[in-house]
Amino acid sequence: MSQPIASSTTASPFQGAIGVFDSGVGGLSVLRAIRAALPHEHLIYVADSGHAPYGDQSEAHITQRTLTVGNWLAAQGVKAITIACNTATVVAAKTLREQTHLPVVAIEPAIKPAVVLTRSGVVGVLATRQTVQSAAVARLVELYGADKRILLQGCPGLVEQVERADLHSPETEALLRQFITPLLEQGADTLVLGCTHYPFLRDTIQRVAGEGVTLLDPAEAVARELARRLANNGSLSSASQQGHVQFFTSGDVAQAQAVMSHLWDAPLTVQALP
């Protein structure tokens, strides 16, 4: 049984920062949106790449990793945690919320806005196998998809392509065609990017799907919700200077630094997760 998460009582260089984590590098797409919406906040990003992809792991393992990373972030003195991983959200967000005193904002597939935007009445959801098989996604489909067709498409292998920064190769495009073509053949005109790794494949996804297909990425909505939660509890930063961002990984540091610098479009320093 995991112990309840407690805040740090000792001074930390990360005191009052916002913690953001994903199974790997994909959550940088959410971090980018948070950085744009809350430029004065200090941010800590954890890529749990040593245990990626979560989408192929058991629910017990995903929950254990979510609580382990959440515990570590809380121990650093963060004021909020953002789960930038759809799989971790649908499997373990409820458990993390039950065990932490902190605001927890978690991404989930953007099915609700998709059913509003679709013109054909058919929505495709691209996600990991764990996400599409989860009770949480079944609940979203039941709540919002009553008069629409919601097609859930597991996409094994895509996370690994992004973890290698292999965004534009023929192999990546072939995988995307394999997953997207059946959705288009069934009339989907709106595709939900149900994994935070997938926005880094957006250009190729759009090319495969066609310009008439709408792509939905909920990262900006997550950033807005985080800002709202912090404003409501009076914990928004009052600083006038730009906040700093610290990057950690549970995987190979050199590889993470190379891939994350590429995806972040700037050189950055990645530290090993203790």
pLDDT at 273 over 90: yes
The position carrying tokens 């990373």 is 69
CA distance 83 to 67: 11
pLDDT at 3 over 50: no
Q: Is the pLDDT of residue 9 over 80?
A: no
Confidence class of residue 175 from pLDDT cuts 50, 70 and 90?
very high
- For the segment 162-173, the average pLDDT, to the nearest whole number, is 97
- Per residue in 183-214, pLDDT tens? 999 999 999 999 999 999 999 999 999 999 99
pLDDT of residue 64: 97
Give the tokens for residue 121.
């009445």
Pairing verdict, β 80-83 and 18-22? parallel
Q: How confident is the model at residue 101 (pLDDT cuts 50, 70, 90)?
A: confident
For residue 234, count CB atoms less than 10 angstroms from its CB and return exposed for 0-12, middle for 13-18, buried for 19 or more: exposed
Domain extents in the chain: 18-108+220-272, 111-217
Q: Which fold has domain 18-108+220-272?
A: Rossmann fold (3.40.50)
Given a contact cutoff of 8 angstroms between Cβ atoms, the answer to whether 172 and 200 are in contact is no
Q: What is the DSSP string of 70-117?
A: HHHHHHTT-SEEEE--HHHHHHHHHHHHHH-SS-EEE----HHHHHHH
- Which pTM value belongs to this model? 0.93
Query: What Å distances lie between residue 116 and 112, 113, 189, 214, 272, CA to CA?
Result: 7, 5, 12, 12, 42
67: left (phi over 0), alpha (psi -120 to 50) or beta: alpha
Q: Fold match between 18-108+220-272 and 111-217?
A: yes
Confidence label for 100 from pLDDT (cuts 50, 70 and 90)? confident
Site of tokens 């950085």: 35
pLDDT at 66: 97
Mean pLDDT of the chain: 94
Which of the four CATH numbers 3.40.50.970, 3.40.50.1860, 2.40.420.20, 3.90.1150.10 does domain 111-217 have? 3.40.50.1860
Mean pLDDT of 32-61: 96
Residue 14: predicted pLDDT = 86
Catalytic residues: 85, 195
Query: Nearest CA to 80 among 89, 70, 90?
Result: 70
What pLDDT does residue 11 have?
57
% the chain with pLDDT above 70: 96
Name the band, by pLDDT with cuts 50, 70 and 90, for residue 13: confident
